[in-house]
């Protein structure tokens, strides 16, 4: 059973101004996951003023700047903040390692959850999602631009010869006044042309788009099944561009999530989710609005709801947890912080920290693009200085896994 000391015990364990750190390491190594239901864990307690946390097997140790780093994987680097006295800044290690970002744990017992912001990167188990768009109200509609794809346009095919050409789907010759023939891909010969209505009907079946405005659907760039060429996103009709795929109008509030991890048959794409009638459930179960076929996903893993003008991400007691990526984290004396680094979870607090039932604000530093997955990161120097960088604060609940 996992045990985390209370605030009163923390005060006895370390003097004021000393950071208390509890490390919990899962005994197994599996895709950098941490099993929140497992009892096969190794726990240690630390009182420190700064240094680098290292893990060798299941043993976690700390090395100060004055001593050489022990063998193992570097987890995080902790330093006292020069900008805000009495606080500490946690950032990725300053030595070569596999840790590229910090993952803040969203606890299942948190009533406030994590307030999502545009471009946030969060993880359910080992499956990652990026928040592409958040709309509370107004006429705005989803922006369906997936990374790596460009807006392309296909025009009508005109000329005398076009009257004798056949549509590859319905096999009817020639265009109609409201149904032109298109050449949308690289196919040649008798399968070069297709009617616009036939192509739209085929695309709607492939995307399984709903016929009502407040539904949830998955959008991905379409390719020709024969030549594998990407189909155009728009069609030009008499100088007016319109979408190739006719999608329903989405009722606000809605959120657009990009599926960053390509682990399912759906592949990479965008989840368009309206929250007008009910919160979104994400998981492996059939009843979930966004169904994720992955072994690291629980049946009902997490939910996204719109509360008080905010989009809130909450964990539903999942086995492998819900986390939000942070470039760096600042720890003060008001609230504890919990971070997952691979199969290790670090809970950090100052002696005067209250119990884990309180909410906490995690301030992040200036963010730079991470080439690996599009995530954002901050330089360790900026993190150690405690610079807020003008970025908004992130609200989430600290954790104490007393349910394990």
pLDDT in tens, 249-305: 888 999 999 998 865 556 678 999 999 989 999 999 999 989 999 999 999 999 999
Residues 366 and 389 in one domain: yes
Structural domain that includes position 163: 153-243
The residue among 373 and 64 whose pLDDT is bigger is 64
Around Cβ 385, how many Cβ atoms within 10 Å? 16
389 has pLDDT over 60:
no
Nearest to 404 by CA among 41, 5, 43, 37: 37
pLDDT for 359 beyond 50: no
Q: What is the pTM of this model?
A: 0.76
- What pLDDT was estimated at residue 214? 60
**Is residue 105 over pLDDT 90?**
yes
**Token digits for 150?**
């460009």
- Residue 373: pLDDT band (50, 70, 90) is very low
For residues 131 and 257, membership in a common domain is answered with yes
Q: Which helix (H) or strand (E) is 209 found in, with range?
A: none
Q: Which of 84, 72, 87 shows the shortest CA–CA distance to 23? A: 72
Q: Looking at the domain assignment, is residue 148 inside a domain?
A: no
Evaluate whether residue 290 is within a structural domain. Answer: yes
Residues 308 and 326 in one domain: no
Interval 182-230: pLDDT, tens: 999 999 998 999 999 999 899 888 887 665 556 678 888 888 999 999 8
- How many whole angstroms separate alpha carbon 362 and alpha carbon 250? 32
The rounded distance, in Å, linking the Cα atoms of 41 and 260 is: 30
Residue 131 sits in the same domain as residue 259: yes
Structural domain ending residue among the three candidates 315, 332, 354: 315
Last residue of a domain, one of 185, 220, 243: 243
The reply to whether 147 falls in a domain is no
Q: What is the mean pLDDT of residues 218-244?
A: 85
Domains identified in the chain, total number: 3
Residue 360 has pLDDT above 50, yes or no: no
Query: Residues 28, 320: contact at Cβ < 8 Å?
Result: no
Q: Are residues 259 and 134 in the same domain?
A: yes
- Three-class SS of 84-108: CCCCEEEECCCCCCCCCCEEEEECC
Per 3-state DSSP, the chain is made up of helix, strand and coil in percentages (nearest 5) of 10, 35, 55
Residue 376 lies inside a defined structural domain of this protein: yes
- Tell whether 16 and 103 lie within a shared domain: yes
Q: Which tops the pLDDT comparison, 370 or 237?
A: 237
- The mean per-residue pLDDT over the stretch 133-160 comes to 77
Residue 147's pLDDT band (cuts 50, 70, 90): low
> Is the model's pLDDT at 388 over the cut of 70?
no
> What 8-state DSSP symbol labels residue 251?
P
pLDDT tens string 148-177: 555 677 766 677 788 889 999 999 999 888
Q: What is the CATH number of the domain that holds 178?
A: 3.30.40.10
pLDDT of residue 16: 55
* Residues 56 and 99 reside in one and the same domain: yes
Residue 133 shares a structural domain with residue 276 = yes
| Paired residues of 377 in beta bridges | 368
Q: How many other CB atoms sit within 10 Å of the CB of residue 157? A: 15
Q: Are residues 302 and 334 in the same domain?
A: no
Task: Give me the pLDDT at residue 123, please.
Answer: 96
In a domain? residue 37: yes
pLDDT tens column, 51-67: 999 999 999 998 876 55
Residue 146 lies in a domain: no
| Mean pLDDT confidence for 321-346 | 91
Model pLDDT for residues 14-55, shown as the tens digit of each residue: 455 789 999 999 999 998 999 999 999 999 999 998 899 999
Q: What is the Cα–Cα distance from 242 to 264, expressed in whole angstroms?
A: 30
**Computed from CA positions of residues 179, 180, 185, 186, in that sequence, does the dihedral angle turn out positive or negative?**
positive
In a domain, 193, yes or no: yes
Q: What is the pLDDT of residue 144?
A: 83
pLDDT at 95: 78
Asked if residue 300 and residue 338 are part of one domain, the reply reads no
**Across 89-101, average pLDDT:** 82
- Which of 243, 267, 285 corresponds to the end of one domain? 243
Chain-wide mean pLDDT for the chain? 79
Per-residue pLDDT band at 402 (split at 50, 70, 90): very low
DSSP letter (8 states) at residue 184:
-
Residues 19 and 89 in one domain: yes
pLDDT at 76 over 80: yes
Q: Tell me the sheet residues that pair with 130.
A: 121, 258
Tell me, what CATH number does 263's domain have? 2.60.200.20
Q: Which residue has the higher pLDDT, 368 or 152?
A: 152
118 is a domain residue: no
Q: Does 136 lie in the same domain as 270?
A: yes
């Amino acid at each position: 059973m996992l045990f985390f000391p209370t605030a009163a015990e923390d005060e006895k364990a370390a003097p004021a101004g000393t950071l208390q750190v509890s490390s919990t390491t899962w005994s197994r190594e599996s895709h950098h996951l941490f099993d929140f239901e497992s009892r096969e864990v190794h726990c240690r307690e630390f009182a420190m003023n700064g240094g680098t946390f290292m893990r060798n097997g299941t043993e976690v140790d700390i090395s100060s700047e004055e001593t050489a780093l022990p063998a193992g994987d570097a987890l995080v680097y902790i330093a006292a903040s020069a900008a805000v006295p009495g606080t500490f800044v946690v950032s990725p290690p300053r030595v070569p390692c596999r840790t590229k970002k910090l993952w803040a744990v969203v606890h299942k017992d948190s009533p406030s959850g994590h307030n999502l912001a545009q471009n946030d990167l969060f993880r359910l188990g080992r499956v990652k999602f990026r928040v592409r768009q958040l709309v509370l109200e107004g006429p705005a509609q989803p922006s369906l631009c997936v990374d790596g794809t460009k807006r392309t346009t296909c025009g009508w095919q005109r000329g005398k010869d076009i009257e004798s050409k056949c549509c590859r789907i319905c096999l009817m010759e020639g265009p109609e006044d409201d149904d032109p023939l298109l050449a949308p891909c690289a196919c040649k010969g008798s399968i070069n042309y297709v009617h616009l209505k036939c192509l739209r009907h085929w695309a709607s079946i492939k995307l399984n788009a709903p016929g009502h405005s407040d539904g949830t659907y998955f959008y991905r760039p379409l390719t020709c099944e024969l030549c594998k060429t990407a189909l155009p996103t728009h069609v030009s009709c008499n100088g007016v561009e319109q979408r190739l795929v006719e999608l329903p109008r989405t009722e606000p509030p809605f959120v657009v999530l990009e599926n960053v991890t390509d682990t399912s048959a759906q592949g990479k794409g965008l989840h368009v989710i309206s929250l007008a009638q009910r919160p979104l459930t994400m998981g492996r179960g059939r009843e979930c609005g966004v169904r994720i076929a992955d072994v690291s996903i629980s049946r009902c893993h997490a939910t996204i709801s719109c509360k008080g003008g905010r989009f809130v991400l909450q964990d539903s007691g999942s086995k492998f947890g819900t986390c939000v990526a942070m470039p760096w984290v600042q720890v003060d004396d008001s609230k504890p912080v919990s971070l997952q680094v691979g199969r290790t979870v670090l809970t950090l607090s100052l002696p005067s920290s209250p119990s884990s039932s309180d909410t906490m604000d995690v301030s992040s530093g200036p963010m730079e693009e991470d080439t690996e997955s599009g995530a954002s990161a901050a330089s360790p120097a900026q993190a150690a200085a405690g610079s807020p960088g003008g970025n908004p604060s992130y609200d989430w609940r600290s954790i104490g896994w007393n349910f394990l």
